[in-house]
Structure 1
């Protein structure tokens, strides 16, 4: 019996290891802005105009559409760019969601991402809360990604992108 157990253990140890793909990561950031929802929404509602308030971007260009399927190209300060596509837009609820359409890990270390932006009433009179949340996968979906394209790099980049954007928006609107 002991030999059988040893044989099974050796057999199992020599089986190839089957690694699974990456797991989805998440990021969420919010900020309170001392301005009414209408004023904050007026600044963020044009999907392709994010570079007007986001300091990480050199420029943003798009088709001007605030409807599902609308596209924008974001050019980062390093001159690398990605393309995103609008999935959902609701003027009355002050929210929209979009996804990565064309990836570029040199620009942003995700292979796919979806993001939701929402502007809601804040805690005090005349204030707003802006929330960004995302679900995404790292830039290299292989089993052994380099450090700059692993889960930690993707989480760090998305979180910092949200924080920088929200700070830029607050500075512009207040």
Structure 2
């Protein structure tokens, strides 16, 4: 019986020290002075992410159908790529959801990433654009290097969202 108690204590201690990464979440939003339909016309096509300054080119298959795919090329001359698949699309609610299927952690330090992009009515006839995502850090084991830890993952996703939302704010400034 004592041996069983000792074994249980050791297992409990090991389990407590062997926690893995926790799911991280980022939500950023941006008000723009443009009608929701106008904003949706720019960002609502899953195949076209030319509105984001980091995306040099985008190509894909399936239009806006569930399981449509796209490959985003970042930077000129065949820079790094991110492959994504669409898993929800609702043009009436002006929202879609997608997940990354392939990305090098050196490009974006995340794993198991999914994201939702939505346009809602905002103030004074404008729009509220919301971009939210959930993901794990780029290093799935304990003691990740600094460039692949939770903080690096949150910072990288936040920077991607902020750059896109800032570009949309600039594009639609003074629209109404």
Structure 2 length as normaliser, TM-score?
0.85
Task: Measure the CA separation in 1 of the matches of 2:57 and 2:134.
Answer: 24
| Structure 1 consecutive aligned stretches of length 4 or more whose deviation exceeds 4 Å | 15-18
RMSD over equivalenced CA pairs, Å? 2.0
What are structure 1's unaligned runs of at least 5 residues?
1-7
CA distance in 1, matches of 2:137, 2:27: 16
Residue 121 of structure 1: aligned partner: 121
In the alignment, the residues of structure 2 paired with residue 64 and residue 172 of structure 1 have an alpha-carbon distance, to the nearest angstrom, of 27
Measure the CA separation in 2 of the matches of 1:146 and 1:76: 24
Aligned length: 163
Q: Name the counterpart of 2:155.
A: 156
Aligned twin of 2:137: 138
Q: Deviations over 1:50-96 (max 9, x none)?
A: 1x111122222111510110111112238111101101000111000
Please identify, of 97-106 and 26-35, the stretch whose mean Cα deviation from structure 2 is larger: 97-106
Going from structure 1 to structure 2, the CA distance change for 1:16 and 1:129 (only over 3 Å counts) comes to closer
Measured after TM superposition, the shift of residue 103 of structure 1 is 2.8
Match of 2:3 in 1: none
After TM superposition, the structure 1 stretch with the greater mean CA deviation from structure 2, 76-85 or 64-73, is 76-85
Aligned to 2:81: 81
Deviations 1:120-172 (A, max 9, x none): 10011x20000001111011111121111110000000111111101112222
Which residue of the partner structure matches residue 108 of structure 1?
108
Q: CA deviation at 1:118?
A: 0.6
The residue aligned with 2:55 is 57
Q: What is aligned with 2:37?
A: 38
Query: Which residue number corresponds to residue 93 of structure 2?
Result: 93
Task: Specify the alignment match of 1:171 in structure 2.
Answer: 170
Gaps of 5+ in 2: 1-5
Give me the TM-score of the superposition, normalised by structure 1: 0.86
- Cα distance in 2 for partners of 1:70, 1:36 equals 27
Q: Distance in 1 between matches of 2:14 and 2:35?
A: 59
Asked which structure has the greater CA Rg, the reply is 1
Partner-residue secondary structure (3-state), 2:158: helix
